[in-house]
Amino acid sequence: MFRTGSMRNIYSPNVVTARELAIDQVAAEVGRDPLELRLSTLRDARSVAVLEKVAEAGSWGREMPAGTAQGLGFHSEYKGRAACLIEIDCRPETVSRTVPTAAYAYTGPRVTRAIYAVDVGLTINPRGLEAQMLGGMMDGIANCLSFSLHLVDGAFAEDSWEHAYYTRQWNVPFETQVFILDSSSQPGGAGEFGVAASMAATANAYARATGSMPTSFPINHGMPLAESIVPPGTIPQSPTDGLGRR
Amino acid sequence: MPVQKLTVNGQRVEVDVEDDVRLLWVLRDLLDITGPKYGCGLSICQSCTSLVNGKAFNPCSVPVGQLRPSDEVVTIEGLADAVDGDGLHPVQEVWLEEDVAQCGFCQPGQIMAAVDLIQTLLADGRRDVTEAELDSLRNVCRCGTYPRVRTAIRRALAVMAETPVFVRGAGR
């Protein structure tokens, strides 16, 4: 089930994730490798190039411990091509980890490595483009794993960033890489182009790590929210413990 | 109204304001120091993070009457001048080299939190930072600059391990 919202990249992350999950299912059904199946069906060189790049840089198919896995995602939009390779850790000790400075947060699976390849045509500012892809990956990971609102009795349960689990440092991959494949064709867009492929790759990695394809997003959505520090229906005074807060 | 005597960015200031007004409003609205950003007012988003006696804190959650006149409050505006040497603070330099900022709103808080983490590590004789220590940073960034924040902190730590710099008032 995909709940939609006017978030970065609007509907593309949902649509692309559904399609990429289906492709992995087809690959499993017919006994083919998810990368090989995609490469054999993509029809243009730019699409093949981004997918081959992340597969090569991420050593697609490398052996990984049980409970961890790789996943792929591909996306075409804004006259461009993008692919992502994600490595995720779904082992119990990771999923149940706590963060001392954020004792309230449910952490869940951890993306440990994220590799992105993007071809936006003519690249004007490579460092800016890379920054947009990095930020987009943080959104894609959040969309897949942690970032949602809960509508309860006509009001949203999320009253602040305390409960709205957009990616935080404790969700950030230990390794991130962005490759820019400049095809020097027409310039496209980049501001939202990092989200869809990374959400899809995270979902596929989760499915391969757990052996169970996610059918509802974000994956953490069913976990209980932490107790609020904000009394319901109030605009509270700021706390008084800021000297000690870290 | 009580007169609050404060030390902000190396300057002694006096402000007529009640004891229970949070320092963030004193800084932003009365002293026109707007580097510390108002995000949540609940000590959650960390975008107002500044330093008091060299330690990170959240001005949105500190009644101004809690501060002593001798407490050294340093905001992003005063960071460069709060350490020895000319130019920017080493963390700011690395931040520019790594192109960390995107929209920029949370970045003063990110930089001040990074300064605090690096100073704490250096004071413990450390020259490295663990993933868990980076994970413990709570500052929210809705642009998703987190990977470059991690890279910049590692680089700044390496720079400052060679030439340690501590913000005025640290260790008090």
Domain boundary (B47, B79, B111) is at B79
pLDDT of residue B74: 98
What 3-state class would DSSP assign to A114? strand
Domain boundary (B60, B79, B98) is at B79
Contact A88, A104 (CB under 8 A): no
A162·B42 Cβ contact <8 A: yes
Q: How many domains does chain A fold into? A: 1
pLDDT of residue A229: 64
Residue B168 maps to a domain:
no
Which residues, other chains included, contact B48 with Cβ-Cβ below 8 Å and sequence gap of 6+?
B24, B36, B37, B38, B39, B58, B59, B60, B109
Q: Is A77 exposed, middle or buried (0-12, 13-18, 19+ CB in 10 A)?
A: middle
Name which of A105, A163, A113, A107 is nearest A137 in CA terms: A113
Chain segment A189-212, per-residue pLDDT in tens: 899 999 999 999 999 999 999 999
Judge if B102 and B62 occupy the same domain: no
Residue B1 has pLDDT above 90, yes or no: no
User: Stretch B133-159: mean pLDDT, rounded?
Assistant: 97
**Alpha helices (H) in chain B, listed in sequence order:** 23-25, 90-97, 107-123, 131-135, 146-162
Domain boundary (B33, B64, B79) is at B79
Chain segment A211-246, per-residue pLDDT in tens: 999 999 999 998 877 666 666 666 778 888 888 765
Residue B92 maps to a domain:
yes
What 8-state DSSP symbol labels residue A169? G
Q: H-helix or E-strand containing A183?
A: none
Enumerate the residues of chain A whose CB falls inside 8 A of the CB of residue B105. none
Partner residue opposite B58 with nearest CB, options A137, A174, A242: A242
Q: Please, what is the average pLDDT of chain A?
A: 91
pLDDT of residue B124: 95
Judge if B63 and B86 occupy the same domain: no
Judge if B64 and B85 occupy the same domain: no
Question: Percent of chain A at pLDDT above 90?
Answer: 71
Chain segment B39-97, per-residue pLDDT in tens: 988 888 999 999 999 999 999 999 999 999 999 999 999 999 999 888 999 999 999 99
CATH code of B143's domain: 1.10.150.120
Query: Measured between alpha carbons, how far is B71 from B5 in angstroms, rounded to an integer?
Result: 10
The packing angle between helices A34-41 and A45-57, to 10°, is 160
Judge if B141 and B85 occupy the same domain: yes
pLDDT of residue A234: 64
pLDDT of residue A102: 66
Chain segment A35-54, per-residue pLDDT in tens: 999 999 999 999 999 999 99
Residue B142 maps to a domain:
yes
Taking the Cβ of residue B120 and every Cβ of chain A, the question of whether any pair is shorter than 8 Å is answered with no
B40·A102 Cβ contact <8 A: no
Size of the A and B interface in Cβ pairs below 8 Å: 106
Q: DSSP string covering B94-108, please?
A: HHHHTT--SS-TTHH
Enumerate the residues of chain B whose CB falls inside 8 A of the CB of residue A131. 99, 102, 145, 148
Question: Percent of chain B at pLDDT above 90?
Answer: 90
Query: Measured between alpha carbons, how far is A243 from A33 in angstroms, rounded to an integer?
Result: 54
Judge if B24 and B46 occupy the same domain: yes
Min distance A236 CA to chain B CA atoms (Å): 8
Interface probe for B, chosen from A99, A163, A169 (most Cβ of B below 10 Å), is A169
Residue A33's identity, in one-letter code, is D
Residue A158 has pLDDT above 90, yes or no: no
The whole domain housing B102 covers 81-162
Region of A66 (left: φ > 0; alpha: ψ -120 to 50; beta: rest) is beta
Residue B171 maps to a domain:
no
pLDDT of residue B88: 97
Contact A170, A99 (CB under 8 A): yes
Structure tokens at A188: 């496209």
Judge if B9 and B26 occupy the same domain: yes
Contact A41, A18 (CB under 8 A): no
Min distance A175 CA to chain B CA atoms (Å): 8
The whole domain housing A183 covers 12-220
Residue B33 maps to a domain:
yes
Higher pLDDT, A172 or A188: A172
Min distance B12 CA to chain A CA atoms (Å): 20
Query: Measured between alpha carbons, how far is A26 from A115 in angstroms, rounded to an integer?
Result: 24
Partner residue opposite B57 with nearest CB, options A128, A176, A245: A245
Judge if B33 and B43 occupy the same domain: yes
Taking the Cβ of residue B136 and every Cβ of chain A, the question of whether any pair is shorter than 8 Å is answered with yes
Residue A18 maps to a domain:
yes
Interface probe for A, chosen from B138, B150, B153, B172 (most Cβ of A below 10 Å), is B138
Task: Kindly indicate the confidence band of residue A12, based on its pLDDT and cuts at 50, 70 and 90.
Answer: very high
Chain segment A106-129, per-residue pLDDT in tens: 889 999 999 999 999 999 999 999
Residue B172 has pLDDT above 60, yes or no: no
pLDDT of residue A70: 98
Judge if B44 and B71 occupy the same domain: yes
Residue A188 maps to a domain:
yes
Min distance B84 CA to chain A CA atoms (Å): 25
Kindly list the distances between the CA atom of residue B21 and the CA atoms of A14, A103, A197, B34, B84, in Å, as whole numbers in the listed order: 45, 28, 47, 16, 33
pLDDT of residue B105: 98
Q: How many domains does chain B fold into? A: 2
Residue A133 has pLDDT above 90, yes or no: yes
Task: Kindly indicate the confidence band of residue A185, based on its pLDDT and cuts at 50, 70 and 90.
Answer: confident
pLDDT of residue A231: 63
Residue B13's identity, in one-letter code, is V
Judge if B75 and B146 occupy the same domain: no
Residue A77 maps to a domain:
yes
Taking the Cβ of residue B137 and every Cβ of chain A, the question of whether any pair is shorter than 8 Å is answered with yes
CATH code of B55's domain: 3.10.20.30
CATH code of A178's domain: 3.30.365.10
